[in-house]
Chains A and B, each alone.
Chain A
Amino acid sequence: MGVLSRKATCNSHGQDSSYFLGWQEYEKNPYDEVTNPHGIIQMGLAENQLSFDLLESWLAKNPDAASFRRDGQSIFKELALFQDYHGLPAFKNALVDFMAEIRGNKVTFDPNHIVLTAGATSANETLMFCLAEQGDAFLLPTPYYPGFDRDLKWRTGVEIVPIECTSSNRFQITASALEKAYEQAQKKNLRVKGVLVTNPSNPLGTSMTRDELDLLVNFISDKEIHLISDEIYSGTVFSSPAFVSIMEVLKDRNLEKTEVWERVHIVYSLSKDLGLPGFRVGAIYSNDPIVVAAATKMSSFGLVSSQTQYLLSAMLSDKKFTKEYIAKNHKRLQKRRSKLVAGLEKAGIGCLESNAGLFCWVDMRHLLSSDTFEAEMELWKRIVYDVKLNISPGSSCHCIEPGWFRVCFANMSEDTLKLAMQRLKSFVGSIAVNDRSHRDLKNSRRKFRTKWVFRLSFQSFHDREQDER
């Protein structure tokens, strides 16, 4: 056999990670209310399925966009031929407006600085190709989205060095963690080209504080490196604190037109905010025209279908629709999250306080037989195979503390979520204690429960208020 490339035969595609293995198990035995009620419930897929009715009703009211027509005239031919990597101007305009709207119009974006790509997957990889050489490194706060191992490293040869975050301060980025990561990279002889953060965070579901953002700006200024802010969940911030974009911070600190300004790049997508992952709509926004130019040319390898650009330009230009969608979507996400949190609480399980995303960062440390990743894997396997829930273990997200799991809540019906929580409750109730004495466990549970119940009570009180409004 003619030998294949090293990329083809190595493991950098990351598909052997437990993140993907759980999916595979789900595929073998997927839950269905009617046909397979004992199957595995998918809680490992960060999809937003809560607002499709809003999209469908828009489609019904806008038949032209649906059928390749503009003002009653067929534009099928024009669309079919349109392969300009600069993208459909109407779509780029609508997209930057949407991005600004999500940020409360506190910042505006220039359509000439946006590059369309086939999903955020492609956007992230393209930015690596633009900003780094093979063997260079980017620093990423842990825990992070498992897909980054493939998207940022596989074909680019770029390395990831973790910025270790812990539960001691709710996994926020600290100055010392940043410095430690930078030093780690230098010890390994890796040239650091930048930092990549996900804000709001996947898997934490939290949006970054202004302090953290300031810290980042200071750090990249000092080290003279790039900052990529993956903001694909920016439209899912459903409760306070309000989302603060990196652009806002730069603006507030009067850093426009400085060197730092040109080293900040944003990745966006409509997969999470609009719930359209299948349509492959991603974007790179950069303040550096050279990066924009290079990324635009590279986008040839993964352009957005003109058919899709046209549909979405019509949809996103409808400001009445976007306003309504953003508001209703937030409400539904918040409500759904509280249902998950309440269900977890009944099972004696807490999670990180969060205000965004399509998932919760769940604390199952008290269920581990020991404070190790082996124990985490053991627990995970039981949850997948016995409890029949596919959730994502923290180790797959490179979390440095065992016992955390990402659990999605927006990709299923309310009934399915209810069932999942019931299963979990039964499981926790039936856990036999092997390594710890029963009394120790009860004590530690009580300690945790007190802490988390306090938080949860506060949370659910807050949520109830919202509902009454």
Chain B
Amino acid sequence: MVATISKIATGNGHGENSPYFDGWKAYEANPFHPTDRPDGVIQMGLAENQLCFNFIKKWLMHHPEASLCSAEGVDRFKETALFQDYNGLPEFRQAVAKFMGKVRGDRVKFDPDRVVMSGGATGAHEMVAFCLADPGEAFLVPTPYYPGFDRDLRWRTGVELVPVVCESSNNFKITRNALEAAYEKATEANLRVKGVLITNPSNPLGTILDRDTLRSVVKFINEKNIHLIGDEIYAATVFMEPEFVSISEIIEEVECNRDLIHIVYSLSKDMGFPGFRVGIVYSYNDAVVSCARKMSSFGLVSSQTQHLIASMLSDDDFVDSFIVESKDQLFKRHKYFTWNLSLVGIGSLKSNAGLFIWMDLRKLLKEKTFEAEMDLWRVIINEVKLNVSPGSSFHCNEPGWFRVCFANMDDHTMEIALLRIRTFMLKHNEAMVPGKLCRRSSLKLSFSRRRVDDFMSPSIMSPHSPIPQSPLVRART
């Protein structure tokens, strides 16, 4: 008998054959660079937060002791390098708990003893699935959702995901009916439902769950006696009203069995540190905390990084100003981006959080099918040279939506991206039958056309014009 590799290793459960990753491959084959490869693909498929590094670097320069290896920090080197306790450095847990509270406006307090480390949010999700479900059992997940969940929650765990279908007609809100329908569907398929996973703020929508929806979800899981996993990794990216509401707040307001409530957190999005692999599982269930702690051995946070994060997040002044600064930068970038898009007739779901927008390109589809969505997507990648993520990879039930990231590039690159979009839309608008368009929305079109002409003036087209000079921002309409 020839030794084989496992089914897990040879199967497709890693999800990398999804179109979500195809765009990345196109980008990697020809990545944009302002001087070396100005015609390369601009990466708008990566939800990274690159807007606050200067702010953070300033803090680092003034705090050499945050690095274990500097002269100021080396006294702690040995004991930290030896520290492999899966409970984590106490100061790390305390700093993370405090940060989580501050991000929620100190409306709730988090207990450092419930903070469990994991290998990023990726590791956290897998770990929670291992703790809560057996192979063959299922979680309900509202669509559209982050494609990585298919791998993180299912691949090695054998757990299933059943979609809770959300519609654009009500801005993709999670309704009680949709939850019930998903639950029934799972039951019919003989899948035992163990919980509901919500991402709040949502990836890819960039919206937050309102209080009523949250209460409704909490009510639902209590009635069914199933778990609720709240992925709140974008909590600090809520850059404008309405204010973020965490499930940690809801359970203080409504009757709830706390043993069912678990939060997944990370510093990858809120702080922009995906490379440091700081994932957190915060559970209100003691047995889960205990089990997760033992499992965290498979993905502990490097103690060197724990030390850095503990130093940084224990500095109240830094944290308070960082949270404000980050929101400010995200707000500005989001506003600039969406405003410019609207001027060429591109809309997106109204959002107040996240590092991306949920762009509405339904009217650009040749027909209302996912094939047409894929066709359009290929055009965007190959002709417009932007890597964006098609809605189908997020299991959206309606074709024509795309997730487009805006916080992972500098201002100059953003300008280039917008220029390419404008150029594309111009060509597209011209290609459409003029009469038909005029009859439908002549006012709108001529308004758009005029604004596009404004863009063509040299001062705006110049790659060196910084944002504040742009009449778009000055105009404030």
Chain A interface (Cβ < 8 Å from any Cβ of B): 1-9, 13, 15, 47, 49, 52, 55-56, 59-60, 63, 65-68, 74, 76-77, 79-83, 118-119, 121-122, 125, 129-134, 150-151, 154-155, 193-194, 224-226, 259, 263, 271, 275-281, 288, 290-291, 294-295, 297-298, 300-308, 311
Contact = CB atoms under 8 A, between A and B. Distances in A.
A311 B131 contact: no
Contact of A131 (B5, B48, B133, B277): B5
Given A81-B50, A298-B14, 15 more contacts: A1-B285, A4-B132, A7-B291, A8-B287, A15-B294, A49-B78, A67-B60, A76-B57, A118-B299, A119-B297, A119-B300, A151-B297, A155-B130, A193-B3, A302-B277
Contacts of B133: 5
Given A263-B3, A303-B277, A311-B69, A278 B80 contact: yes
Contacts of B299: 118, 122, 301-302
Contacts of A311: 69, 304
Interface in B122-166: 122-123, 126, 130-135, 137, 151-152, 155-156
B331 to A, nearest CB: 21
A150 B295 CA distance: 9
B50 A301 contact: no
B288 interface: yes
B298 interface: yes
Contacts of A60: 71, 74
A349 B283 CA distance: 48
Nearest to B15: A297
A86 B446 CA distance: 50
B78 A125 contact: no
Interface stretch (B81-89, B240-248, B344-352, B360-368): B81-89
Given A7-B131, A77-B57, A278 B304 contact: yes
Given A81-B48, A226-B3, A263-B3, A68 B82 contact: no
Given A2-B226, A4-B288, A275-B82, A63 B70 contact: yes
Interface string B1-18: 111011111100010100
Contact of A224 (B3, B5, B83, B303): B3
Contacts, number: 242
B301 interface: yes
Of residues A6, A119, A122, A302, which shows the largest number of chain B Cβ atoms within 10 Å of its Cβ? A302
B60 A76 contact: yes
Interface stretch (B268-276, B375-383, B436-444, B454-462): B268-276
Interface string B281-323: 0000101100100110111111111001000000000000000
Given A1-B260, A118-B300, A119-B300, A13 B120 contact: no
A307 B9 contact: no
B244 to A, nearest CB: 24
Contact of B67 (A68, A134, A295): A68
A14 to B, nearest CB: 9
Give 7 nearest A-B pairs by CB, closest first. A66-B69, A278-B303, A306-B275, A294-B9, A302-B299, A305-B302, A302-B119
A291 B9 contact: yes
B202 to A, nearest CB: 21
B81 A275 contact: yes
A369 to B, nearest CB: 34
28 contacts: A1-B225, A2-B221, A2-B227, A2-B259, A7-B131, A8-B131, A9-B291, A59-B77, A66-B67, A68-B60, A76-B57, A83-B277, A134-B135, A193-B3, A226-B3, A277-B82, A278-B304, A291-B5, A298-B14, A300-B122, A300-B151, A302-B277, A303-B277, A305-B276, A305-B304, A307-B302, A308-B305, A311-B69
B64 interface: yes
Contacts of A280: 84, 300-303
A191 B195 CA distance: 34
A131 B6 contact: yes
A302 B298 contact: yes
B473 interface: no
Nearest to A304: B302
B302 A79 contact: no
Nearest to A281: B302
A193 B194 CA distance: 32
Contacts of B84: 119, 271, 277-278, 280
A250 B471 CA distance: 70
A97 B139 CA distance: 45
A154 B291 CA distance: 12
B447 interface: no
B302 A279 contact: yes
B77 A301 contact: no
Given A280-B300, A308-B304, A308-B305, A79 B60 contact: no
Interface in B1-55: 1-3, 5-10, 14, 16, 48, 50, 53
Contacts of B308: 307
Contacts of A55: 77, 81
Nearest to A133: B6
Contacts of A66: 67-70, 73-74
A278 B285 contact: no
Contacts of B137: 5
Contact of A290 (B10, B119, B304): B10
B257 interface: yes
A156 to B, nearest CB: 8
A76 B53 contact: yes
A116 to B, nearest CB: 11
Instruction: Tell me which of B80, B83, B291, B298 has the highest count of chain A C-beta atoms within 10 A of its own C-beta.
Output: B298
Contacts of A308: 302, 304-305
Interface in B222-254: 225-227
B16 A297 contact: yes
Contacts of A81: 48, 50, 272, 274-275
Nearest to A65: B69
Contact of B2 (A9, A52, A224, A294): A224
A129 B130 contact: no
Contacts of B194: 2-3
B56 interface: yes
A292 to B, nearest CB: 10
A443 B44 CA distance: 80
B217 to A, nearest CB: 14
Given A77-B53, A278-B303, A133 B71 contact: no
Given A155-B295, A279-B302, A294-B9, A2 B195 contact: yes
A142 B274 CA distance: 40
B84 to A, nearest CB: 4
A342 to B, nearest CB: 26
Contacts of A49: 78, 82
A118 B298 CA distance: 7
Given A271-B84, A301-B299, A5 B77 contact: no
Nearest to B60: A76
Contact of B83 (A7, A278, A290): A278
Most chain-A Cβ atoms within 10 A of its Cβ — which of B50, B81, B194?
B81
A118 B155 CA distance: 19
A129 B156 contact: yes
Given A130-B8, A290-B9, A301-B123, A121 B298 contact: yes
B411 to A, nearest CB: 15
A298 B155 CA distance: 9
A2 B67 contact: no
A75 to B, nearest CB: 11
Best-surrounded residue of B3, B84, B123 (most CB of chain A within 10 A): B3
